[in-house]
Amino acid sequence: METLIEEGRVEVNGTPAILGQRVSARDRILLDGRPVRFQSATEAPQVIMYHKPAGEIVTASDPEGRPTVFDRLPRLKSGKWIAIGRLDFNTSGLMLFTDSGDLANRLMHPRSQIEREYAVRVVGELTREQERMLKTGVQLDDGPAKFDELRFKGGEGSNRWYEVTLREGRNREVRRMFEALGMTVSRLIRIRFGSLSLPPRLALGRSMALEEQDIDELIRAGADA
């Protein structure tokens, strides 16, 4: 194949192919002017983004009968949706689901070091010392934790908003970090996972399929995990 490409006999979408070029099943590939028909060894994973409301649990079924995030997801012809990480019952915001167990595992592995960004509303305002502690590390029952970034975003009355980023996905980590300093979190929204931000047009309880380039970026993000 490399020889054919070097000889200029292969075209991708009407232009000469180059060595190392990436193609997908959607590309039109010609060899000596004739279409090349091929089948991928594995189907590309499907990934959807979901705007989780507070009051939904991230499980396929709940003994207590509470609504679950899977109740509103589109049906798959085969396989099942797998949550890429979790949000607790009272947290809303961006969630990703895929039909690929391998992709989900890679993106959830600690080695992936994917940024998560949250909007946090707390009762009261952090002191400078509390901000410093959250950025350098606070001790939790499962080890130290810190935010990579912490930005004050204003607020009204007794409530203040902050935006924070971290690269871990421990259970209730953001809430526990604020609680460790005596601060009460009154609202928590995940607004970004890696390069994907929660789009304003995606209403609560609705989902949307990711574009191919976004899925490719997720695959690259989990490649080293």
Residue 221 has pLDDT above 90, yes or no: no
Question: 102 phi and psi, to 5 degrees?
Answer: -65, -45
Domains 47-112+196-221 and 116-193 share a fold: yes
Q: In the chain, what are the domain boundaries?
A: 2-35, 47-112+196-221, 116-193
Looking at residue 188, what is its pLDDT?
98
How confident is the model over 116-122, as a mean pLDDT? Answer: 97
Burial per residue of 52-78, b for 16 or more beta-carbon CB atoms within 10 angstroms, e otherwise: bbeebbbeeeeeeeeeebbebbeeeee
What pLDDT does 40 receive?
Answer: 52
User: Which one of the listed residues 27, 62, 71, 88 is annotated catalytic?
Assistant: 88
Please give the pLDDT value at position 150.
98
CATH for 116-193?
3.30.2350.10
- Residue 88 catalytic? yes
Q: Which CATH architecture does the domain made up of 47-112+196-221 adopt?
A: 2-Layer Sandwich (3.30)
pLDDT at 39: 54
One-letter amino acid for residue 151 of the chain: R
pLDDT (tens digit, 9 = 90+) per residue, 149-168?
999 999 988 999 999 999 98
pLDDT bucket at 203, cuts 50 / 70 / 90: very high
E strand or H helix at 74: none
Which tens digit of pLDDT belongs to each residue from 9-59?
999 999 999 887 877 767 889 999 988 876 554 568 999 999 999 999 999
User: pLDDT tens digits, residue range 69-87?
Assistant: 999 999 998 889 999 999 9
Q: Residue 119: enclosing H or E segment and its boundaries?
A: strand 116-123
pTM as predicted = 0.79
Give the pLDDT confidence score for residue 47 in this predicted structure: 97
